[in-house]
A and B are shown apart, each in its own frame.
Chain A
Amino acid sequence: MEEKKHTMTMLVDNQPGVLSRVSGLFSGKGFNIESLCTAPTMDPRVSRITIVTKANPPLIEQTEKQLRKLINVIKLRDMTGPKAVKREMALICVQAKPELRAEILRIVDIFRCKVIDVGIEHYIIEVTGDESKLAALINLFRPMGIKKIARSGTLALYREPK
């Protein structure tokens, strides 16, 4: 069966050990984690965890059920598809030789990114967007030399009714 990327977010008790329960479930059951983000919500007792995983549909179903079974998971929602907005942030340190600096800035402009650090031989660029935008940008920078990259992993929120 075909493996697909799948995004899910869950509200969990904001307590020590909860993230370990969630990630331990993935490692223990042999599920895969592509990315994972967590931070408190407006209610400080509750955190939101967003996980991107890659699996076939029955395994996705099993993963979601297992997560729901965890006592500290309050609510879990499937965020795959257009019903949710998804964004990722990356900080990219690009080699910026004098002859390429103008080109890099043009790309930054086109992609609506920001340069947040400038050095003699590098720029650090902040970019936010969906997966395809980040992939496109990384592709453009790759020939110039990406020295370092830090990515946040996907965040997702369900769209409110219009």
Chain B
Amino acid sequence: MKLTGAQIMMEVLKEEGVDTIFGFPGGVVIDIFDELAKTDIRCILVRHEQGAVHAADGYARAGGKTGVCLVTSGPGATNTVTGIATAHMDSIPMVIFTGQVPTQLIGNDAFQEVDIVGITRPCTKHNYLVQSTEAFPRIIKEAFYLARSGRPGPVLVDIPKDVAKEAIDYRPVEEIHLKSYNPTYDPNKKQLRKVIELIEQSKRPLIFAGGGVILSGAAAELTQFAHKTQIPVTTSLMGLGAFPGTDPLWLGMIGMHGTYRANMSTGACDLLISIGVRFDDRVTGKTDAFASQAKIVHIDIDPTSIRKNIPVTIPIVGDCKISLDHLNELIDQADLGDVAKKRQNWLAQIEEWKNTNPLAYKQEDTIKPQYVVEKLYELTKGEAIITTEVGQNQMWAAQYYHFDRPNHFITSGGLGCMGFGLPAAIGAQMACPDKLVVDIAGDGSIQMNIQEMATAVQCCLPIKVAILNNAYLGMVRQWQELFYDKRYVCTDMNCAPDFVKLAEAFGAVGLRASKPEEVETVLKEGLSVPQPVIMDFRVDREESVYPMVPAGAPITEMLLV
């Protein structure tokens, strides 16, 4: 059967179970869009290619599938770079198709030509320039295989126009085998047995989980593991939802804006079982002082994560879910004794830390941003999918919304990419049409991809945006307040659009709250209407995120409220 490159692409996308693509057309990808229209695959037209990638990212994180986007060459391709880097840092499975000028024009500085494979080499898991239609089917298959296997990540496929147009005899590619790529899923059993021994010996054990637990679908196994061993749990920002935020063993998030008890526990523990984490500097603070009394177990599917930042006592390369499954079995075989009793002192100490310095803020006559998040948590019963922008809004969302389930907190962790939340909410809503999706935003970040409101309106997506509007680039302002003698250079954003009118201009609903007593009313109304909504909460301008660990300090040295 003779098929064109574009038709072959549709065949493979169907085989891969793709049902949604986020894209933006252009000259060299018209053929592909033309074929796309003949399939059942939904194509979401975004307003900027960065939005397409973030939306595909949100779609992948909320739905657990591989996100797909399709954009044109040149500026279409370069506009995806920030989104790709975001997905790369957070290990999100994604395939990005970019158009390219015809093969005979490559290198000619042709119209809308850019070496996107060269540009994205360091921020993709792998990328391809398709040099012939014959190679195309295998490359698409490989791209999906690489994106979702091992440590997931974004894979870019650059398709010259002639490759999409040319017709060849198509035979489906059966199986992908790459001799240079064999991720280790099964952990070393001997190493796992050592973990059990360490748990037996430990007086103050602590579990530190990260995004890897969510990516491998191991949240249930982690919870089981913690319950069986009665070991308290903290997670990184990316790990929120991997362990129930309402569980008695939950300590809250670790790191720069982690809870007092989570950070103090890390400093005091004698065994740190880290699972699916990479010891980012926002987690560790000063690395020499990080968990300095502890033996450290590190389970991760990516060998490069292990011993990259922190020396490890027991390295274990393997899938988090499989490893935790094995550990749970080993615990059942071992006799750990009365673990609840053994942990008594340790858990009492943690309880004391919790009581001396809980997460707190002062309620005044201005709206406190933390209060908005708390109210949102209450009104949504903790069941909403929360996306965030980056900065203070992100940290308050992480601190005050308690996630009981994985895949419900969608945030740009590694790259810290402002403008992520709104398009990610669009993707999350596409993946989970029956869920309530709320973007907790700041007034600075939301303006970075506000154009995607048009996408939400066009696709009738009832996403909610809650802007914690302090008319500042709040997180940088906070640093300037604390470490730069309050010199608020280039952080005052006291000239922003009227977000209520802006929402209406997009055809969405706009609401505003300026006093604490209005918060609940606005939230109730905003969450109940079936349209996309922007809620503008005029919050206390100079509220800061606490606790805070100054950059480079040990995480046990916190600035408290």
Q: Is B308 an interface residue (CB 8 A)?
A: yes
Q: Which of A24, A62, A70, A72 contacts B307 (CB 8 A)?
A: A62
Bound Cα distance A86, B303 (Å): 29
How many Cβ-Cβ contacts under 8 Å join chain A to chain B? 37
Q: A24-B122, A65-B303, A69-B304 are in contact. Are A74 and B179 (CB under 8 A)?
A: yes
Complex alpha-carbon distance, A24 and B120, angstroms: 11
Q: CA A66 – CA B121 in complex, angstroms?
A: 14
Contacting pair A61 B121 (CB below 8 A) = no
**A58 contacts the other chain (Cβ, under 8 Å)?**
yes
Instruction: Report yes or no: A71 in contact with B308, Cβ–Cβ below 8 A.
Output: no
Closest B residue to A11 using CB positions: B180
| Beta-carbon contact of B304 and A17 below 8 Å | no
Chain A CB within 8 A of B117 CB: yes
Min CB distance B360 to A, Å, is 40
Q: Which residue on B lies nearest to A21, using beta carbons?
A: B121
8 Å CB interface, A49-108 against B: 58, 61-62, 65-66, 68-75
Cα-based distance from A25 to B302 in the complex (angstroms): 16
Q: Are B304 and A62 in touch, CB under 8 angstroms? A: yes
Interface residues on A, range: 20 to 34
Q: A70 to chain B: which residues have CB within 8 Å?
A: 180
Q: How far is the CA of A74 from the CA of B302 in the complex (A)?
A: 17
Nearest chain B CB to A79 CB, angstrom units: 19
Contacts of B47 in A (CB 8 A): none
Q: Which residues of chain B are near A20, meaning CB under 8 Å?
A: 118, 121
- A68 with B303: CB separation less than 8 A: yes
> Interface size of B by Cβ–Cβ distance < 8 Å?
17
The answer to whether B496 has its CB under 8 Å from any CB of chain A is no
Cα–Cα distance between A28 and B122 once the two chains are bound (Å): 7
CB distance from A121 to the nearest CB of B (A): 43
A125 to chain B, nearest CB (A): 39
Candidate in A21, A68, A71, A75 with the most chain B CB atoms within 10 angstroms: A71
Is residue B146 contacting chain A, with contact meaning CB distance below 8 A? yes
Contact of B146 among A21, A61, A71 (CB under 8 A): A71
Interchain nearest-CB distance for A64 vs B (Å): 9
Whether, in the assembled complex, B181 has its beta carbon less than 8 Å from a beta carbon of chain A, the answer is yes
**In the complex, what's the smallest C-beta–C-beta distance from A37 to chain B, in angstroms?**
20
**Chain A at the B interface: SS class:** helix
Contact A61 B118 (CB under 8 A): no
A71-B180 in contact (CB<8A): yes
Q: Are the C-beta atoms of B181 and A71 separated by less than 8 Å? A: yes
Cβ-defined contact, B180 with A72, below 8 A: yes
* CB pairs A–B below 8 angstroms (10 shown): A16-B129, A58-B307, A61-B307, A62-B304, A65-B304, A66-B304, A69-B303, A70-B180, A71-B125, A75-B180
Question: Nearest CB to that of B128 among chain A residues?
Answer: A17
Q: Which of B126, B129, B180 has the most CB of A within 10 A?
A: B180
Q: Does A126 contact B (CB under 8 A)?
A: no
Q: How far is the CB of A29 from chain B (nearest CB, A)?
A: 9
Please name the residue on chain B nearest to A12 by beta carbon.
Answer: B180
CA gap between A66 and B305 in the complex, in Å: 9
A87 to B303: give the CA distance in the assembly, Å.
31
A138-154, CB < 8 A from B: none
Asked whether B1 is an interface residue with its Cβ less than 8 Å from the other chain, the reply is no
Using CB atoms, name the residue of chain B closest to A58. B307
| Shortest Cβ distance from residue A44 to the other chain B in the assembled complex, whole angstroms | 16
- Chain A nearest CB from B234 CB (Å) reads 26
Question: Which residues of chain B in 117-140 are interfacial with respect to chain A, using CB atoms and an 8 Å cutoff?
Answer: 117-118, 121-122, 125-126, 129
Q: Does B178 contact A (CB under 8 A)?
A: yes
Cα–Cα distance between A98 and B142 once the two chains are bound (Å): 65
User: Which residues of the partner chain B approach A24 to less than 8 Å between Cβ atoms?
Assistant: 121-122
Q: Which of B118, B126, B181, B304 has the most CB of A within 10 A?
A: B304
Whether A17 and B117, one on each chain, are in contact in the complex, defined by CB atoms closer than 8 angstroms, is yes
Alpha-carbon distance A21/B126, docked complex (angstroms): 10
CB-CB contacts of B160-192 with A at 8 A, as 1s and 0s?
A: 000000000000000000111100000000000
- Alpha-carbon distance A121/B179, docked complex (angstroms): 54
Chain A residue numbers with a CB within 8 Å of B302 are 69
Residues of chain A with a CB closer than 8 A to B180's CB:
13, 70-75
Interface centre among A16, A25, A69 (most CB of B within 10 A): A69
Chain B 132-159, CB-CB to A under 8 Å as 1, else 0, gives: 0000000000000010000000000000
Task: Give the Cβ gap from A142 to chain B, nearest Cβ, in Å.
Answer: 40
| Those 3 A-B pairs whose CB atoms lie nearest each other, nearest first | A74-B180, A65-B304, A71-B126
CB neighbors of B among A20-35 (8 A): 20-21, 24-25, 28
Shortest Cβ distance from residue B146 to the other chain A in the assembled complex, whole angstroms: 7
* Distance in angstroms between the alpha carbons of A81 and B36 in the assembled complex: 57
How near does chain B come to A63, taking the closest CB pair, in angstroms? 10
Q: B208-219 toward A: CB 8 Å interface, digit per residue (1/0)?
A: 000000000000
Name the B residues within 8 Å of A68 (CB-CB): 303
